[in-house]
Structure 1
Amino acid sequence: MTVDRKCQYSSPWSSTTRSPSDRSTSAGPVSTPAPAPAPAPAPASFPGLQPSHQVEEPHSRVDMVHMQLLHHYMTNASLYPLFENCMKDIVINVALREPYVMYSLLAISAHHLSIFRPEQQQFYRHLAIRLQTEGLSIFNSIDVSFYGDSVEKRIPAFIFSSLIGIHALCDMLLHRDTDPDSAIAGFLKYMSLHRGMLTVMHGYWDELKKSELRVLFEELVPQWFSLTSEGRDCDDIRKRLTAAGLGTDELEDALHAVDLIQCVLDAKPNAESRAYILCSWVAMLRPAFVPMLENARPEALAVLAYYFLAMHHCRGLWMMGDAGQHFLTLLAEHFRGGEWYAWQALSPSTPLTTARRTVPMARNFVVTRPQEADAPRIAEIHLAAMDANPLLHAQFPASESLKSLQQFLEADTAEQLRDPSSGVLIARDPETGVIAGFAKWNSPSHPEEVKLESGSLRDLEGCRREFLDRYVSLAEEARKRCFGDQPCYCISFVCTDPAYQGQGVGTLLTRKVLELAKTDGLQVYLESTDVAIPMYQKLGFRVIDEFQMKIPGLTSDEITVSYREVCMVWQPGSMT
């Protein structure tokens, strides 16, 4: 099987056709020049996989940049949930055997760094292009006949198909066409590439499930897809497809594509399953639906609109961002006029008509110091934003205890606001005046006398002190390990009303605190759950430590859940 991508870099493997074993003993990653190269202009056809100009010939050696990329892949939690830890180890082991897999792995890492290190964005994007193109060049040099009937030899090809699918998806999402037809063509090229990579596995899927990848097929996939889609978000498109006069196979396969999307919109799958569905959706499409998309039939594009809505639903994943909103807007333009435009114009629940209404648009939130009268709203946001945190429910498991906690937070915030120098800021919606989020911190000029969790909060009725005290102890130990007695700003809370999440409220508030710290020439320290790591990394924070504790699950008193927070630091002068 050959991927229809021409490598425009000269390659030490391009002159001969090799077997996988030949390659495995002779190939090494390319060398990357020390200065950041100029970025390759995006080709008109498909960005990312076809650099449009010649660059210096690569060398068959490993340099420190490659070591950095490999270390980043292995240690950076925000790169996941594309693979769980067990899959991460398998990918690493395969990559160490097969250079084309290693190139693709390093390309994903470079893509990730291009997002979270914006000051080096051009360097890392160009590097991702080079690495992925080299991987494709090596893969295209393989004579598949060397595989014979060996499933083990096909495992690297399967891993490579997953990695290159993610890389191609990242490229498609980053390349922001403003013309609807060009955007649709770009998506279809991505789909062709991702699905084409899997043809080498044709006829070997049952055997693959018995290989070292069995953990994926026996444990992870059943776990990810054990839930049935229950939500009603896609009812309109299901009814429309049923009434569209499709053939039996077309209707069945189109509804299957919708079911996968609804699983994401249900918000019931965990983060790993949502990421897996979104990144693998085109590979999981059934045969009758694929030509419907390839021919840009309106029924298929209407399903694609829901896919982009699901993408927006998971905009917190590092490669997604606001891409769902962008593509929804373009599809709305594509459908302008005609039967399908009339349908979506009449139905308020379709993503096409409600793109600008249901997809939140960034606003110029007004950041100010709150008044004492704002304390109840701040306490309300605090609990709403923390509701998804399992530690909160371990510490305050009953509804009565949560009500007591909200009253406590309201009184505590009011007391803070009586001190004009205390560290509290809010962001207001400029249209409604509603408080959308808040940030709290302490600094050397206004130190925290008693940590919130260490004070009278412990005496609230229904509080489970053992989980509160354990958390306080671990957090304080981590803080001492990281900073000792060094002066710094310490951000205690950045909370956004769920109705305003994804609109930049948390980022805006955190930037204001960083500006204050920069004026004082001080570092900023915080503890974060995994979900907020990408936001802080974009602002220049880096992970320096972590701590974990065991807590009960949401539906059981058994202490089975591993709760983790990472310790992060920001230095004055970091890109914000």
Structure 2
Amino acid sequence: MSGRDCSFASQAPPQKLSASGVSPQAPSRSPSSNPSQSGVATPDAAPLTAPSLSKLDLSERSSINSQQDPSLDEPINLNHMELMIHLTLDKDMFNLSDGIGDFPSNFLFGIHKSLDSPYLLYQLLAFSARHLAFLHPESSASYHYQAAALQTRAVSLFNAAWTEVNQSNCVPILLFSTILGHHFLADTLAQRDPGGLEGFITHYIQCVEMHRGIYAIAQTAWPLLMESKLEQILSWSSAFNTRPPKGSHCQRIRELIDSSDTLSETDKEAFRQAIQYLQLGFDVVLAAKEEPGNRYQMIFKWTLLAPPEFTGLLAAKRPEVLVLLAYYALLLHHGRSMWQIGDAGVYILGLIVDYLGPGWDYWLEYPRQMIAKDVEQAL
């Protein structure tokens, strides 16, 4: 969907399970796992038998096996069970979403939808593994592997199942796209590419294009989605996105855009839209009284709502768009307690300051001062 090369395309397909239900190449959940924890039977383990089944003769067993669903004979993947349990218990995983309404009810609704849409289930498990990689650094390699493999499978299933958006699939498609977007943003903000700003911009443009696809899906399916259980969340989100900004935190970047002699009027309008959404993010983050929903939601939405012209300006590394990105880095810094963000704001601002040089210090003064103040207080 984003034009990236698939790192799994060149790998051999997974081996079939042996009679014991264990793949000899299956990755372990963590380096410290022992055989009993991974569900692998040891040579000394005695097989368990049910008394009722031991009384059946072979013909009866054969008859039962021929009538039941073959999938019932498949072994339970304990890694996937761990990911599913984590999904249902840890609500902080989706702390950049709108967060309107009752979390357990809305989330279980999404899991229920995934039963008819395997691509959604695989992406849910992938994002759960991505969160566990953050929570357990000592086992992050194993969880990152699971996250990447499950996400690759999710996208493959989604592409194979894709038809047109209709009443039956609009909800799982939107949920899948949104969770994939959250996953992609977390990966992008975690990048510490040796290529500096150039490397980060490459990853971030892919993230922007991915999120633009989510927005396009939502627009296409909007009338159908308004008849679904997501209506409350989507209506609130739409009202939030369209309200006028109140603060003046982005005033200096507005002055930069309005005074530019090299930007076209189309580009200036794209900047103004991006600045408006960014100011909405500052309004909520810095509000004295927290509003319903998630105060950090614009961290995710800003990438999603950015106008199409934004990508071209970003790819060209126009100084004006880098200054705008520095203000987004400040918004990220306000949400540094979120697991997807951490020190990403400080890191991105540092890349921009080094790239632009002293000639742009005046335009970068506000985000630099605000972040420096917080860093000093933390020390």
TM-score by length of 2: 0.73
1:225-236 correspondence runs (5 A): 225=241, 228-236=244-252
Cα shift at 1:192: 2.1
Cα shift at 1:151: 3.6
Match of 1:281 among 290, 298, 302: 302
Residue of structure 2 equivalent to 1:324: 345
Match of 1:132 among 129, 142, 151: 151
What amino acid maps onto 1:141 in structure 2? A
Match of 1:251 among 264, 268, 272: 268
Cα shift at 1:176: 0.7
Alignment partner of 1:166: what SS? helix
Alpha carbons of structure 1 residues 60 and 194: separation in structure 2 relative to 1, 3 Å: farther
Cα shift at 1:308: 1.1
Residue of structure 2 equivalent to 1:208: 225
Cα shift at 1:68: 1.7
Counterpart-to-counterpart distance in 2, 1:277 and 1:312: 13
Counterpart-to-counterpart distance in 1, 2:74 and 2:231: 33
Cα shift at 1:261: 1.8
RMSD: 3.0
Residue of structure 1 equivalent to 2:28: 34
Cα shift at 1:143: 4.1
Alpha carbons of structure 1 residues 182 and 220: separation in structure 2 relative to 1, 3 Å: closer
CA deviation string 1:28-52 (max 9, x = no partner):
xxx9633548xxxxxxxxxxxxxxx
- Contact residue 96 and residue 102 of structure 1 kept, 8 A: yes
Cα shift at 1:201: 5.0
CA deviation string 1:189-245 (max 9, x = no partner):
2222332355455633333333332122223543x4476432222111011111114
Counterpart-to-counterpart distance in 1, 2:282 and 2:219: 31
Counterpart-to-counterpart distance in 2, 1:308 and 1:316: 14
Residue of structure 2 equivalent to 1:192: 209
Cα shift at 1:132: 1.0
Counterpart-to-counterpart distance in 1, 2:75 and 2:156: 17
Cα shift at 1:323: 0.9
CA deviation string 1:536-557 (max 9, x = no partner):
xxxxxxxxxxxxxxxxxxxxxx
Cα shift at 1:82: 3.5
Residue of structure 1 equivalent to 2:77: 63
Match of 2:174 among 142, 151, 158: 158
Residue of structure 2 equivalent to 1:360: 375
Match of 2:317 among 274, 278, 296: 296
Residue of structure 1 equivalent to 2:108: 89
Alpha carbons of structure 1 residues 77 and 197: separation in structure 2 relative to 1, 3 Å: closer
Counterpart-to-counterpart distance in 2, 1:356 and 1:169: 21
Alpha carbons of structure 1 residues 91 and 61: separation in structure 2 relative to 1, 3 Å: farther
Report whether the alignment pairs 1:4 with 2:9. no
Counterpart-to-counterpart distance in 2, 1:348 and 1:253: 20
Of Structure 1 and Structure 2, which has the larger fraction of its residues in helix? 2
What amino acid maps onto 1:276 in structure 2? Q
- Contact residue 323 and residue 364 of structure 2 kept, 8 A: no
- Contact residue 83 and residue 125 of structure 2 kept, 8 A: yes
- Contact residue 129 and residue 146 of structure 2 kept, 8 A: yes
CA deviation string 1:233-258 (max 9, x = no partner):
21110111111143444323312211
What amino acid maps onto 1:172 in structure 2? T
Report whether the alignment pairs 1:262 with 2:279. yes
CA deviation string 1:75-132 (max 9, x = no partner):
1132232443154233222222211111111111111111112222222122111111
CA deviation string 1:117-166 (max 9, x = no partner):
2222222122111111111121222342xx3x624323222111111111
Residue of structure 2 equivalent to 1:417: none
- Contact residue 299 and residue 332 of structure 2 kept, 8 A: yes
Counterpart-to-counterpart distance in 2, 1:4 and 1:357: 37
CA deviation string 1:388-418 (max 9, x = no partner):
xxxxxxxxxxxxxxxxxxxxxxxxxxxxxxx
1:455-534 correspondence runs (5 A): 500=377, 503=378
1:364-403 correspondence runs (5 A): none
Counterpart-to-counterpart distance in 2, 1:76 and 1:162: 18
Residue of structure 1 equivalent to 2:184: 168
Alpha carbons of structure 1 residues 346 and 329: separation in structure 2 relative to 1, 3 Å: same
CA deviation string 1:317-339 (max 9, x = no partner):
11111111111101111212xxx
Alignment partner of 1:33: what SS? coil
Counterpart-to-counterpart distance in 2, 1:154 and 1:229: 31
Counterpart-to-counterpart distance in 1, 2:310 and 2:132: 35
Percent identical residues: 26
Cα shift at 1:272: 4.0
Residue of structure 2 equivalent to 1:448: none
Cα shift at 1:354: 3.9
Counterpart-to-counterpart distance in 2, 1:274 and 1:32: 41
Alpha carbons of structure 1 residues 184 and 358: separation in structure 2 relative to 1, 3 Å: farther
Report whether the alignment pairs 1:76 with 2:90. yes
- Contact residue 312 and residue 359 of structure 1 kept, 8 A: no
Residue of structure 2 equivalent to 1:240: 256
Report whether the alignment pairs 1:310 with 2:339. no
- Aligned residue pairs, count: 315
Alignment partner of 1:152: what SS? coil
Alpha carbons of structure 1 residues 151 and 331: separation in structure 2 relative to 1, 3 Å: farther
Alpha carbons of structure 1 residues 62 and 136: separation in structure 2 relative to 1, 3 Å: farther
Alignment partner of 1:286: what SS? coil
Greater C-alpha Rg:
1
